[in-house]
Every structure is written in structure tokens, then in C-alpha cells.
Structure 1
Amino acid sequence: MDRVNTYIISLEGKDIVNSQNNKKGYETKNKNNLFKGSLDYSLEAIKISEINNKLFYKKEGKQYTNAVVNVTFNYGNGNKKIDLDINDEKDMHNKSFDKVSYTYKRENGKRVEDSDVAFGLYQHKDMSTKEIREELYKNGFKLDGKQYVRFKRSSGSSRVGKCLFIRKDLYKDMMEWSYMGLKYGKNDKMDLASMEAYISLTTSSIIDTISIDPKSILVIEDFKSEFEDTVMATEWCDEEQRLITSKKKTIISNSIWDGQSLLDASVFEEKYKDKGFLLLRNRFFKSACFNTNIQQFFKDNKIRNINQLKGFTLAEKIEDIKLITTPSSIKYLKFKDYKTFGGDRDKCLEYWITNSDERFGVVKYEKPPTNMHEMVQTHYQLLNTLPLSYDDMRELLRPSLEYIKLLKDDLAVLRNHIGINLEKLEKWNIEDENFDFTNSDELVYKLLMINDDFANTKIFRKYKDNLIQSYKNNIRKGHILTNGNYSVLFGNSYEMLQASCGLFNGESILGLDEVSVKSFGYNMELIGIRSPHVTMGNVWCCKNKYNELLDKYFNTSNFIIHVNSIKNNLLERLSSADFDSDQILVTDNRILVNSAKKIYGKFLVPTDFTPKKTVNRTNSVEDKIDLDIKTSKNLIGEIINLSQILNSEYWDRLKSGKSVDSLYEIISQLDVMSCIEIDKAKKESVVDSEKELKLIRESEYISYGQITRDKKKKKVMCRPYFFKFVGEGKNYKFIKKDTPMDYLEQIIDKEVPKIESIDSTISLTDLLVDGNNHKSDRKQMQNIINKVGKLNNEINGVWASNMCYEDKIRYSVIKKEKIVDFISKLKISDETFTTLIYRLGSEYNDKYGNLKRIGLILLNILFLAHKNQFLNLFKQLKGDVEVLTEDNENLNNKLKIYEKTYKKSTKMIL
């Protein structure tokens, strides 16, 4: 097995159920596009390959396996076979039924079709998604004659209702490995939600593995900082069976090292010396492990013997200690009450250490932003929770508006922008919501570099218009580039080192709201925001401080931020943050910082006091079905949308002098609900989010209006104007509010003119080297056009479906790569290439109007399949082209783009 993601079959549950009357079940033969799912390169995939290394195979450079199947449950109407208990013809006439089928009796191995010997009649019944899930969880299914059974679901997959099934012959070995000695019968009580989440930790995508001897781990106690604070408390009311939110003075308890570990610098030395942390996975283990000079600290504090340490370890010498962690990272300890351990935590811990693998999966490490100049993008949730005035917003937008004008008017700037996009493309991952899988940047960039006249063609003008419109649309979503980054939270790091040998006294070397991060100047004021960001009480103002001890013992990069949560309600302010690789957006932008300071301390921190007791279920199929159905009802989007509607209402009412009594309480409650919703895959809650949302929508702060659809008037919810542009539905009435994001939209409406393309002056065909296009292969040409047209239709269909975002991207990329691979193997004459390009150059003529919708993607695929041949068809104008070079010295007559200055120079094209 190669260390890459593996393509797996992805099927809809109803299609599987409908196929199970066949002898072999669902048959994949002659069916295309089945491998739309992905089994990430992971500890799970490695283990499957160790059980049977023939399960993974390569085809056309891609890795596949049929060992695991992804099943979705988006549609009902599967057919369930209902036995009618009819055994003879007399019975058949005496019973009423419809849609009856029958199986055939076999005599001497041959099927007898005479109705006299027909038996086992049944009818088909439509099934709901719940019934389809029940059918497959209980009975599994056949695929190409092999039996599959329910396997696992990751927390991310469970939120969209997906579940993995595995070949039955692999199930026993894989589950024994996953449970690590924990054996629960189907009627045994257990924390099922946690177990399902923790056995799936090994399915997480990894980039590498590293070796750590489990006996080199030191486990110290978690520390909770308890203090009194006045907060906006959300609690559960048993009597009313709903949430109640109100101002309350109460005790806050912070777990200050929750999910983090200290990993000795020697482990980073070989491959990750320049990294500040690694997010590691193992069975029942998940932790953000930070690059720490552990042995240096021991030496400086005269820690020479194991008995000087304050924790549990199986190491024999102090030099052996490589990893310092806490029980919060070792999920196995949540099952210490299992019969083998009888509640003895040390016995449970010793079992986990002695049975753990030395191979730890590396999930990720910190990375710089991929945006221009390594800047960070704001988002509408942040902007709409700050008291930004219209003038503030205009000043914040000014660099972006200037840049749009430069993209429109200056070819050197546009060329530079495309070059930046190409660099970003190399760092692409499917979590980037702005990634364009049909990207034509390389094609356009190469043509611009060999012939500036390409900029005057219709196809380039269309590309340029689309690029600028896309940039404008991105800004409309609140994505404004500014100085900053996403930094990984590192909590009370020095205090954790102290605690390993009994030196921690409960105090922090960082003060309240002090941080230490290398990417900003010291003593600078910053703001920090964690996603999902809900309301004003989630904004964090902090000050960057240098600390010699942090610099001495921790090898952090620019993208790790030391924070202090002792006696500070920081974790709830950052929406139930912990330290298992949570990141925050950090910026020193003066407009944003000054705006945040105006409200800091004036809005109480939304704080969760809902019950957190374990919900014990049985290990039965029925409970797994019920748990997965509840988890698949993902309401996080609705919660965040509603919070932003109410934030807008808050600012609008405040500025118009209307009452805002109880409004902030409602918004704070939505913040708590968002955290409950995100965690429900591993923590069950008594909260009924659907009910709470319904009650909030019925409050006085939500207004309704009328719109006309299909010539009929319809009552709909009113939303702020900016929702029209953030992609959150059309069946609403949009009303301009006195709120920051509506200021943004109004400024763009007023100051960014609609894109009106200038007529092209050159045809694409004018740039071609003279040649004879009469010898082209018309049949081959039509085959290429048909395949690209089909690709375009398939991709459009996928993006119109309810497939999850990652699967849409993955499927689209696979399809595009297959077409490129197919065309790259064709021997295409220059004449055929030329004719195709001629037709594209005439794409608005009636004769070739069908190429209009696929023009750019066709051109791009031809380029990707035969780059050198394609470029050689175009006239190469030798000479100079204008390019930008970053130059922050001697600022006279320089071009300023955001935070950087450039000078223009010429580059010789040979």
C-alpha cells in the first residue's frame, strides 16, 4: 500500500437495499463512477493492509480498495421485501396485495418457472432513510458476492450521516485491534457515543508516522483552574425541558492542558526540526504535541531520577522521557471502569501503555496562510460582531478595493496574481473552500508569458472577468485580507513542564489576556477569534509579550501562540476551545483591534453549564442506529446563520434606540448550542436543538415579510442584506440593516462597478502559428469535444447534488484527471489541435455555439494533456514583459498592494 489516500466505493443506502434480491447483491460490473469515496492514508488503512496486503491495488496511477465501502443515507424509497406467507395458488387468490414478486423453486438445481410451484411470494414496501439504515446496520449487505457489515464512522462523517462498512472477513481482526482489549457484549452498558468517536481516531488522515516508545510517556494530572466570574450562563431547565440563559456570578473551571502534550525536541530532529507541534494519533490517543526541550528543563532543575517526577510512567531512566501528557489525551482512561480494571486508573493506564503501538500517526503540523503575502482572511462572523462604523468598514476595505482596480487595469498585477494562485495550488487541500478544481491559471499564465497579445482575446477577457468577479464575491462574504495568521493554541506550557516534577504552584508566567507569539511585535495589541465565531462575547483582546523562559524551553514557530487560561474564562470565550490543535485567527489590524477594544468586557462571555453526564447505552445495533441518526441531524449551519441574523438585529436596534433586552442572552445561547452541536458525535446532550431554534425563530427579534415566487406571494423570514451574498439561500426577504456586514455590501455596490468586459481586439486564432487545419482528424476531435462536454455536465450535476463538499471536490478532480489522462494518451496532430482552437476562437458563431459553455475548460484540458505541443502552436513574441518585484525600500514611485510595496521591471522572454 502506498502512503496516499485510497479511493473506495461510495453508495447510497437505498441503492444497496434495492440490489439485495440479486444473488451477488450489488454488482459493480459495468457501473462507472462508483469510487467517489476516500479512505484516507491512516493508521486504519495501514492496519487493513497488514491483515491482507493484496486488498489495495493500483490502476492508472491511483490506489483503490474494495475492503471498505462508504454508505450514505440521503434518500428514502428503498424496497424492503415483505414475506406474504403464501405457499400455494389457493392462498394467492385469497389474499389481496400489490407489487408482488416471487422467487422460484429449484428442482435438481434448475429453476422452475411454472406458477404451480412458485413459492415465497413477497411485496415491496417503500422505506425511509431510517428504515434503510436499520436494514443495513442489522443485516449488512452483499457487494459482488461478498458480505459487508457496519464498521465505523468518524465524527466528521457522522455529522452528514455517512458510515463505513467493511468486508465481514476483516471485521473481527479490525475490531479487536480497535477496541484494544475492551470487550462489550451487545447488551452491556457503555458510553457508546464516546466509544464510537474514539475507535475512529485511527481513521484520521495522516501525512506520516513517527516512532515513540509508549514506555517513554509520562502521564501527569490534568489541572483545573477554578475561579469566580460573572458570565452569560446557559443552563438546562428540567421543569421546562429547555435552555435558560441569564447573567450569573458563578464558578468557572478551566482544564488548562486539555488535549495537549509536550514532546521532546529530539523526536522532531529527524524530519520536523522546523515545526513547533505535531498532532498525533494512536489507538485511543489524540494530542497536540509541542516541540519542547524536556531534557534541558530536567537538567536545569536537577531532575535526575524517575522518582523525582510527579506522574505515571514505565520509563526506567529520566533520559527516557520523551512525551509528557495528561489523561485528557488518553481516551482509553475513560473506560477505566471496565471489568478488567475495576476503576483502577493506574492499572488501566499501564495496560494502554504496554499494548500501544510505537507507531504514532502524524495528522498535521502548523502551516502559514496560503493567501497573498501570507495574510489572513477575515470572515463575516468576525466583522459582524464588531462595532464597525461605515467609515471603519470603508477604510478596512480600501486595500481590497484598490487591488480590484489594479487587477482590472494593470496586466503586470494580474500576471502576478495568477502566479500567486499557482503557488497556492501546489499547497492545495480539499478544506480550502475557494479552491477551483477547473483552475485555468497555469494555462493563462503561460500564454501571457509567451505572448502579451493573448490579453486582448475574448477567451482571456472572459477569464479575467470571472477572476475579478470571483475576487469581488469573496470579499462580499467578509473575506478581507489583512496581516495575521491562524495560530495553534498552546496552553500554560511552562506550567505543564513545572507540573511534571512538582514545581507548579498554580500561577502562570503570563498575565491575564497576555500571549506570546513570534509573528507579531512584542507589546502589540492583538485580537483572537476562534471558529465558529458567534457573537460579541467571543471576541478576545490580548497583548503580545516576550518571555525568556518560553523562548528557552519551547521551539515554537510563528504560528503557535502561548496562552494563559488560569483565572481567565478564555476557553468559553473561544467557544469551548481546548488545546488538541485548536486554532484562532490572530491579527494586529488597527481598525479591528480598536473596534474590539470598544466592546471588550461589555459583553459577558457565553458559558455552557448544560449537563455533561455520560449517557449510557448498550453496545447493540439498535442503539448505534439511534445514535447515528441523532448525530446526522447537523444543525450547526442553522445555528450560526440565526446568530448572525440576531447580531445584525442587535446593532440595528442599538443604533436606532430600540430595546435590546434579552436579545444578547438569546445570541449567547446560540453560541453554547453551536458547541453542543459540534461535539454531539462524541458527547450526547439532553438539549433538543431543533426545539430551541424553533422557539428563537418565534421570538420578537425575528421578522417576516412577503416575497413573490412563481407569481405567488410567500411569507418568509427576513434576513440582513449581506445574506444575499454569503450563499445562504434565496427564499428570504433581504433588508438593509445598520450592521457592519451590510455596510460592506453597500460600499461594494457603490464603489466597485459592475464588470463590463471590453470587446476583444484579437481572435485567439490570430495567435496561432500558421498551419494547415484541413488535415485535422474530425472524428478524434468530436470524440474529445464529447468527452469534455460530458465531463462538464457530470461536474455540474455533482455540484447541484447534496453530496458533501469534500466528496464533490474529490469526485470532480478524479473525473477531470481521468479525461486529461485519456487525452494525454491520444496522438493528436498539430492540425487537429489547430482546428479545435479555431472553433473555440469562433465560439460565438452559430456553427460552433455549442462550444461556448465548455470553451475554457476544453482549452485547459488540451493544455494539461499536451503542454509542450499546445504551447508550440502559439506565436512566441520575443521581448520584454512587465513583472512585479517586491521592494519595501525607497518607497517613492512604488506600487502598494496591501501590506507590501512593489516595483515594476521587465523580464526578457526568449
Structure 2
Amino acid sequence: MDDNKNIYINSWEVGEIWEHINLGKYLKQDFAGMLAYSLQLDKLKELKINIKESKIYKDKLTSRDIINVKFNWGKPKNKMQLALINNYFNNKKSAEIDNIKSEIEIQKEDCLKSCKNIKQENVVRNYFRIRLQVELRNIRFINNKLNEKYIKKYNYNNSAEKLREELYINGFSIIYKDLISTGKKDDKGKSIKEEKETTIDYVVLGRSSSKSRNGLVLFVNKKKYKDIKRFMRMGIHFENRTDIDFPSLLTYESLCGSASEGIVIIDPNSIFIVSDVKSVFTNPTNVIKKDDSGKLISEYDENYMMENDLFDGEGLGDISVFQDAGREDKGMMLLRQHMFKDCLFNCNLQQFLKDNCPKDIKYEDWKLEDMFGNRMFAKDIKIITTPNSLKCLKFKDVYKGNKKAGTIIVQMFNKWKKEVNKTDNKFFIVKSEHESKRGFNDKGILNQASYQILNSLGLNFKEMQQLSKFEVNYIKKLKNNTDTYIEYLKENANEMNSNLMLADLIKHNNKVLDTKIVRDKRKDDIESYINHVKRGKIRVNADYCTITQNGKELLYHSIGKLPLNTNGTLNYDAWKNEMILKEGECYSTLWDFNKEYVCTRNPHTSQSNFLILKNVYSKFVKDYFNFTNNIIYTTAINNPINRVLSGQDVDSDNLLMFNVELMKNKVLELKDYVVCENGVEKEPLNYTVCNRDMAIIDNKLAKSTRNIGTVVNLGQLYMSTYNEEKSKEEAEQDKDKLKELLQGIEIATILSEIAIDQAKKTYDIDFEEQIKYLSKCKYLDSKKPLFFQDISDSNTISKKDDYGEYIHIRPYKTGMDYLYNILNSIDRKPRGGKAVDIVDLLDSKINETKAHLKQKNGIIKNVEEINKKRSAIESYYSKRLRENKRLDKKEENKEKYTKINEVVAEGMHIIRKYKIKPETVKSIIIDVFENTIECKCKLELLNALYKANKEVFLSTFKEEKTN
């Protein structure tokens, strides 16, 4: 068994679990969730969790010892769930009635056999008739009472919040039913199986690290809980303590569960820890804070004292570490270990140390002192990082180690190294940087923007036409150019669609493009792509770059040559002449040097989130760092970059670096917009480390996460209204209106940051109340912009009245609505000419009358079964997303695709068993497309034949190409 594989686990709604516990409803095991390869999974395997291999997917491993629980059921589903309960008891009642009728009938017949005359028979029949009436009355009475009881219970516990609390505190049990072979066979030689029940008791383990903000929670077999929880907390006793930051602990303990791409072995004794350093300076800032009434306001401060962490979450790793990981061609690796999260940048660290060794000391003898007072040989240092990456140091007061080892922080550091040693010094690589896969044009690489970025640029219609020109031309090529469409199909191919089949078939015989089935598919693909672009996903010359900052300062800090003030902050005056970058500068090989570029980071919410950076060459960076095009080196010294980029740090945050002259000119017009700062106080830490308080924290997190979309869209409504007012002649603009709208944008900016940050920090704020305050602005129109049709979760936003007019939307004079109209004006009509019959494209030399009839019927039946199951899955998830706005779309789609993939794989497993011949393939295509055999899933059928045997499928068609 491969130790580096992911494990698939069951993923259920908390409401489904409630039904199982209280109503005995069967829980279908679909293993749609996933426990990614990680340090945590390594430990669970060591603890011998029960892992099984899939019969269909030989490389797919599953386990029931861990499950994922989603907390999305709430009051919106009351009617549906109450109906479900009623149906359950009605079905239960019917089943019991049938059983008692059958039982009494058998007893009656037995008694009638012993009767000697008709009189005795009548007495027997009358007795059993009365008995049946009594039994039926009892069944109906008991079931009605139970029904009432459970409906009351459901009404009391119907919220996800209450169910979370109940399950976190008490845990729960799930009864699994499996068919197990008895070892016996029936008359036909088939194995006889019997149902066996297995009960597993589950307790809450914690958040999955990759889903910490989404609030998806792992529950584990109670038998494994103590060992795995102790492991996650490094064997430190935190239970029932009231003196620690519990929200942060919940986040940091889950770091060992981060999904990983691979591992690298690093001796923790080769890691050199230096203190974190801040740059403190004054900067004009809009501070968002609460007024006396609790309402958020934006307050301008000309001399706001801003603090930037210079090395927040980054580390420098010698190139030998990257070589050991097989990633010497990468500029960074995001690493995880016990309560450790570090973005390690590729550095010629040993070379720097050798170049700066004091002349009177041999390099082999040179020792450096870390922040703990430990002295290390310079030659042994492979990594330099700071306490911001080593999260366990935040809990140094909790651990009681060997006092002789030094201060409490030294004891904690030694404890961490010991725990790392126990894992064979394996550090897990979460990711490295990579370049865009969205293509190139004559100016270079392409990546896509977002609706937030486009809408905050203040573009007019002509400017949006210019910016979207590439996409408009591409959409026209999708319609008219065969090679472009084939490339599109290949780039968007996956196991669940027919793209690869169509791409190969078009290359084999491009006349297939003029068949109705392919014309319809192409039309749908173009419409789908237009809808994608309508969300602001226009491609321009840009790419994502992982941010590193002040690497030179970190290197000099490690050798004790970075001047610090007595409070540990940077002494700017003593260092400024040594700086390789000034404010407004960067180093990147993505674009040419000595030019200016627009940069921004997601989440992008306002005009003040744009940067213009001049790309300057640095010999120091070139000599000591091994960066790719997708790394950008910046400085946070006396520079508000961290705040401009929405509170960025350097633990793998990235920005979009645009090489677009139009965007640069527009951002230059926005230079007077002032950066925002979060001035909201953090919530007092009054939590106890226990499951009850964990439920309170996670409920609060789930609540704020659900509000992210609402806040972002509200910010976009403010932005669109602001842009519309700004589009007027200056003399006609309402200055008070603009001021209030801009303050609303600034407040929405900070609110969205707080919501995103809630996984590890809690703030003294009521989100719903703040959203209400923002929504009451007198300048906001009840009708939303046109582009809200593609970003809003509302099911009714596109509704029209009896006259065909939109009820809830109208066109705004704002960038995104201009894009919406530009895309809607594109001609979608399909290629002209009469459609070609696909049957006419089949090879006439193949004799379809020699088809294998049994194979033919079996293939069609299995394809229809696949399609039926697939449609049911898609319908189920579509309904869920439509009815419950609390759901995380990304997670829902991930589960949906996992289930569809399983269905397709099961069906194809059967189809591939057939040794299909061209005669059978041709016969199937003729019968289905000439409607001799009814089949509603023709495209899926062609794809199944292609997957079953690509060469045989293609050979069924004539090889032909036309211009």
C-alpha cells in the first residue's frame, strides 16, 4: 500500500447524521470526502486506522474511521425535513401493518386447520379479525406519538449551530450495514451473503487545515481519538485551560493535516531562529473602527503609526534543501510540520554566510547565536526563519519542560525539535509556485483578472472594450476556428466530459464539426465560456507571483548586522543606505526591469488595494536568491505595502503583476485613494479549551464565513454606485454622496478581511449588524447592477415582469456592466449550412450487420445507467446550492465531481470488459442516431465507446479533413 496516497472518507451533512441517529435513516457511503496526504494522515496510518482498497479504483483507498461533517442544515429546510419525518413514520407504520397482517394471517390459517366445522371456523375468523383491529390501532397510536415527539425534537434542534454543539460535546454513533460472505453458495453456485452491522463511535477531532475557514470538521473513531489528538498537540496538555488563545490553537494544531505534494527531510537542529522585526513609520490611513454606538466608521489619520512585520511567515532555505526535495528549479516551498508553517525561499544561504564570515575566523569554526542564545556553527545552518513560522512558541507558557534546558521559550523550542525527530524529520511540502496555464500572446504570459479588480479601476466603456479585446477575439475564434476549438477542448478535458473524445474525432474527421450534436456542444461551450468571462475573468498580460520581502535584511539579521532599536524594531536611519529596494520598488524576472507595473492581491475590494511597483534589478538578489519568474521580491520597510495588499504576509501570499499600460494609467489616476487599516479590537480571550467552547468558536467562524460573499457583493454595490456618480461631469457630482459611498467601500474592505481572518482571530464585532448598517445607505439603489446576475447567489435576481423588464437589476455606468454588455453583443449563431448526419461519416467498409447484439444492448444500457445516476447527482447538488446559501460552492462541487467520477468509473469498468469491434460500434451509432434505439445521452454514448477503445472508435469513422 502506497504511504503517500490520499484516503477517501465519507462526508455527510449534520442533518443526515441527525436523521440516522434519531430516525434510523440509512447513510449512503459514497466516500466523497478526502483526507489528504499529510503528517496527520501518516500518524493515523501508524495508529492502524482501518483502510480498504476500492474494487473499481485499485489505487483508491477508503476509511470509515474518519468522517467529514458539514454544518449547513438550518431553518430554511424545516418543511422538507418535517415532511421527511412524516414520510418515515408513515412508511414505518405501513411496514408494521403489513407485517402484523401477515403474521395474523399465518396464525389464523394454522388454527383453521384444526377446526372441525363451519361454526368453529367462524369463531376463529372473528377472533383474528378483532385482534387485527386492536393491533392496527396500537401501531397507529404509537407511531403518531413518536412522530409528534420527533417533530418536536427536530424543531428544538433544527439549527446547525445547536447540532454542532450537541455533536461536539456528546459525539455520536453510526451503524454501518455490510453484506458479508457466509462462505456458502446457493444452488446456482453464487456466494451467499448476510447483512452484518458495525457500530463506530465518533468524537470531534478538529478542522481540516485546508478547510479551516469553511468550518468543515473531521470526526474520528473514538478508539483513535486520544492518540491522534495528543499527536496534533505535540503531547502538550491544553485541556480545560483558560489562559491561552483557543481559536489560534484550533488553527495551528490542524497544520499537520495540510494537503501535501511531497516531503523533504530536514534536521530541526539545522534551523536557525532569529527574532521577528517590525518596521514602524507614520502613514496617512483610513482607520476602520467602532463608534460609541457600535457602528463601524472610517476615520482619517494623517499620521497613523503603522507597523509592518518584515518576515511574517517566511524563511530562507539553502539551495541544498531544495535539491534534497527535488525542487531546485523552484523559488519557494510551503512547508508544514507540528504547529509549523513556513514559506521557504530558495537562497544561496551557505554562500552568503561564507562571503560574510569574519576574516579572522575560519568558516568551519564560525558560530552564530540564535534568538534563544544557542550558538550554532554557520556551516550547519540550512534554514533561517522566525517565531512567526513556529506557532507552538505562542504557547510557551503552557509547556513545562526541563528547566535546566533554559527559558520557557527554549524549552518549547526543544520540545518541538524532539517531536519533529519522532516523525523522522519529515517536513511536508504543501506547494511551490507555478506559472499560469492560461496561455500567451505576443506580449507574454496571460492570466485572468477578477470582477473586483475590474470594477475598482473606474473604466469607461471604451476602456473596457480595449481591455477585453483579447477575450472577445478569442470567443469569435472559438466559434469560427477549428484549431482554437480543439485546443479549448483539450485544455478543458477531464474524466467526466467528452472533450478529449471530440478533439480526437475532429482531428480524425473535421466534418464532425457540422453534425448537430457537435454544433450544439460547441454552442454550449461558447456560452459557458462567455458566462465565465462575465465574472470578470478576462485574460490580460499578468501572472501570479509569490511574495517574499526583505530577504537581505533577514540574512543580515542572522549574522547580527541588522541595526535594531532597543524595542526590537528596525533602526531605519542606520539601515536605509544598505537597502536594495525603496518604497514603490520590486525585483521580479516576470517582466522587464526599469518599468512600472500594476500589482494587487486577492481579496481585492477597493481602489486603495492597487500598487504601482517599479521593477529594478538587484545584483544582491541575483547572487543570493534562486527565484523563478513567479516570485516577486519586495520591501515592507517604511512602506504600507502590507496594508495596501489587504493585510498580506509572506507565508505564501501572492499578487497579480500586470503588464497592461491601460491599467497602469488608470491606477495612476487612483493614487490619492488612502489605504485602510483595521482598527477593530480583538475579542477578549475568555474561552476554555473544551469541546463546548470549540463549538462556540466554530459556529462564530461559520457565521462570519457565510457573510464573506454578502460583504463582498455589498462592497461591489457601493463601488458600482460610486463609479456611476463619478462618471458624471465633475460639476454635477454629489460630493457628500461620493464621500459616504467611499466610506462604505472602506468599511466593506475591512469587514471582508475580518471575516477571512476569523479562523485564527476573533473580533469584537457583530457581522449581521454591520451588514445591516451598510445596507441602509440612502444612496444605494434597490436594483443591483447587471453583472450581479453572475456573482449573486440570489435565485430571483434575473426575474422579469410581465413587460419583459428586469425587476431586481438595471444597467449601471460601471466597468463590470460595460463588460456584461460587450459580451452580450457577441454573435452566438452557430456555423452556417445544413447539418451533416453523423451516420454519413461512418466508414462504409465496416459491416454493421456483424455487430455483437449482446454487447450492443449491454453498452447502451450501461451508458444510460451512468447518465441517469450522473443526472441525479447533478440535480441533487444543484438543488442543495439553490436552497441553501450557506453551502460552500467549491466544496460542494468537489464532492459532486468525486461522486460523478465514481459513477462513471463503475460504469466504464463494466463496459471495458467487452471486447468491442468496429462493427458493434458502427451498429450502435447508426441505431442510436437514427432513433431505432431510444437513447437520450448520445454524446455520453460516443464518449463511452471512445473510452472503451479509442482506436476502434476512431476507426469506425472515415478519416477525412476539409478546409
Q: Shorter chain as normaliser: what TM range? A: 0.7 to 0.9
Aligned to 1:900: none
Contact 2:928 2:935 (8 Å CA) reproduced: no
User: 2:414 maps to which residue?
Assistant: 350
Offset of residue 534 of structure 1: 0.2
1:644 aligns with 716
Deviation at 1:317, TM superposition (A): 2.3
| Aligned residues of 2:367 and 2:375 also touching (Cα < 8 A) | no
Residues of 2 paired with 1:791 and 1:863: CA distance? 20
- State which drifts further: 811-820 or 354-363: 811-820
Q: Is the 8 A contact 1:310 1:502 kept in 2?
A: no
Per the TM alignment, residue 413 of structure 1 is displaced from its structure 2 partner at its CA by 3.1
Among candidates 738, 750, 753, match of residue 672 of structure 1? 750
1:818 is matched with which residue? 906
How far did residue 595 of structure 1 move?
A: 1.1
SS at match of 1:261: strand
* Structure-2 change in CA distance of 1:475 and 1:685 (3 Å): same
What residue is the counterpart of 1:744 in the other structure? 819
2: CA distance, partners of 1:151 / 1:53: 14
Cα 1:375–1:313 change in 2 (3 A) is: farther
Give the Cα–Cα distance (whole angstroms) in 2 for the partners of residues 53 and 139 of structure 1: 22
1:142 is matched with 173
Q: Is residue 217–residue 314 contact of structure 1 (8 Å, CA) maintained in 2?
A: no
1:758 and 2:836 aligned: no
8 Å CA contact 1:315, 1:321 repeated in 2: no
Residues 302-324 of structure 1: CA distance to partner in whole angstroms, max 9, x if unpaired?
16456434534867422111111
Matches within 5 A, 1:760-775: 760-770=834-844, 771-774=846-849, 775=851
Q: Distance in 2 between matches of 1:330 and 1:744?
A: 45
Aligned ranges 1:196-235 → 2 under 5 Å = 196-235=250-289
The alpha carbon displacement at 1:786 in A equals: 2.7
Distance 1:727 1:666 in 2: 19
SS in 2 for 1:577: coil
Amino acid at match of 2:678: D
Structure 2 counterparts to residues 298-697 of structure 1, below 5 A: 298-302=353-357, 304=363, 305=365, 307-312=367-372, 316-338=376-398, 340=400, 344-356=408-420, 357=423, 358-373=425-440, 374-419=445-490, 421=491, 438-505=496-563, 506=570, 507=576, 508-600=579-671, 602-612=672-682, 615-633=685-703, 634=705, 635-656=707-728, 657-659=733-735, 660-697=738-775
How far has the Cα of 1:339 moved from its partner?
5.2
Contact (CA 8 Å) 1:310, 1:501: kept in 2 or not? no
Give yes or no for contact 2:867–2:940 (8 Å, CA) kept in 1. no
Distance change >3 Å, CA 822–CA 585, structure 1 → 2: farther
| CA shift digits 1:98-117 (9 cap, x unpaired) | x99xxxxxxxxxxxx999xx
Paired residue type of 1:722: F
- Which runs of 5 or more structure 2 residues have no equivalent in the other structure? 79-91, 94-133, 175-197, 564-569, 571-575, 798-807, 882-886
Matching of residue 49 in structure 1 with residue 107 in structure 2: no
Show the counterpart of 2:161.
130
Q: What is the aligned counterpart of 2:293 among 212, 229, 240?
A: 240
Q: Distance in 2 between matches of 1:807 and 1:455?
A: 33
Paired residue for 1:902? none
1:290 to 345, 356, 374: 345
Q: One-letter code of the match for 1:744?
A: L
* Inter-partner Cα distance in structure 1 for 2:313 and 2:779: 39
3-state SS, counterpart of residue 388 of structure 2: helix
Letter in 2 for 1:64: T
Alignment of 1:716-865 (within 5 A): 718-726=783-791, 728-732=793-797, 733-750=808-825, 752-756=826-830, 758=832, 760-770=834-844, 771-774=846-849, 775=851, 776-777=853-854, 779-800=857-878, 801-802=880-881, 804-842=892-930, 851=936, 854-865=937-948
Alignment deviations for residues 35-79 of structure 1 (CA, whole Å, 9 cap, x no partner): 111111111111111121753534322111112111122225999
How far apart, in 2, do the equivalents of 1:492 and 1:695 lie?
40
- Quote the residue 1:874 is aligned against: 957
Pairwise CA distance, 1:188: 4.2
Work out the CA distance in 2 between the residues paired with 1:141 and 1:398.
57
SS at match of 1:152: strand
More helix by share: 2
1:755 Cα offset (Å): 3.0
Name the aligned partner's letter for residue 167 of structure 2: L
Change over 3 Å in CA distance of 1:378–1:339 after alignment to 2: closer
* Change in 2 beyond 3 A, CA 1:641/1:607: same
Structure 1 residues 21 and 721, CA, compared in 2 at 3 Å: closer, same or farther?
closer
The CA distance in 2 between the partners of 1:171 and 1:315, in whole Å, is 39
Task: Report the Cα distance in structure 1 between the residues aligned to 2:658 and 2:267, rounded to whole angstroms.
Answer: 39
- What CA distance in whole angstroms lies between the structure 2 residues aligned with 1:759 and 1:167? 63
Shift of 1:789: 2.5
Which residue in the other structure is 2:804 paired with? none
Q: TM-score of the superposition, structure 2-length normalised?
A: 0.80
Q: CA 1:840–1:266 in structure 2 vs 1: closer, same or farther (change >3 Å)?
A: same
Distance 1:673 1:314 in 2: 42
TM-superposed CA distance for 1:484, in Å, is 1.6
Counterpart residue number, 2:7: 6
Deviates more, 1:299-308 or 1:482-491: 299-308
Quote the RMSD (CA, aligned, Å). 2.8
**In 2 relative to 1, CA 405–167 (structure 1 residues): closer, same or farther, beyond 3 Å?**
same
Give the C-alpha shift of residue 616 in structure 1.
Answer: 3.4
| DSSP 3-state at the match of 2:11 | strand
- CA displacement at 1:477 relative to structure 2: 1.6
Cα separation, partners in 2 of 1:323 and 1:495, compared to 1, 3 Å? same
Distance in 2 between the 1:442 and 1:152 partners?
40
Q: Relative to structure 1, is the Cα distance of residues 309 and 401 closer, same or farther in structure 2, using a 3 angstrom cutoff? A: same
For these two proteins, the number of residue pairs brought into alignment is 809
Q: Distance in 1 between matches of 2:370 and 2:169?
A: 48
Normalised to the residue count of structure 1, the TM-score between the two structures is 0.84
CA distance in 1, matches of 2:200, 2:795: 46
Identity %: 30
Letter in 1 for 2:760: K
Change (3 A) 1:454 1:244: same
Give the Å deviation of 1:850. Answer: 5.2
Q: Which residue of 2 aligns with 1:893?
A: none
Q: Where does residue 253 of structure 1 map in the other structure?
A: 307
Checking the alignment, whether the CA contact within 8 Å between 1:219 and 1:313 is kept in structure 2 is no
Aligned to 1:896: none
Q: Is the deviation greater in 288-297 or in 695-704?
A: 695-704
Counterpart Cα distance in 1 of 2:53 and 2:866? 28
The residue aligned with 1:897 is none
- Give, as a single letter, the amino acid of the residue that structure 2 aligns with 1:132: L
What is the CA–CA distance in structure 1 between the aligned matches of 2:33 and 2:25, rounded to whole Å? Answer: 17
Which residue identity is paired with 1:681?
A
CA distance in 2, matches of 1:387, 1:76: 40
**Richer in strand (by share):** 1
Aligned CA distance change for structure 1 residues 662 and 761 (closer, same or farther; 3 Å): closer
Alignment partner of 1:875: what SS?
A: coil
- Equivalent AA in structure 1 for residue 301 of structure 2: K
Pairing 1:68–2:66 present:
yes
Take 2:471 and 2:607, find their aligned partners in 1: how far apart are those partners?
25
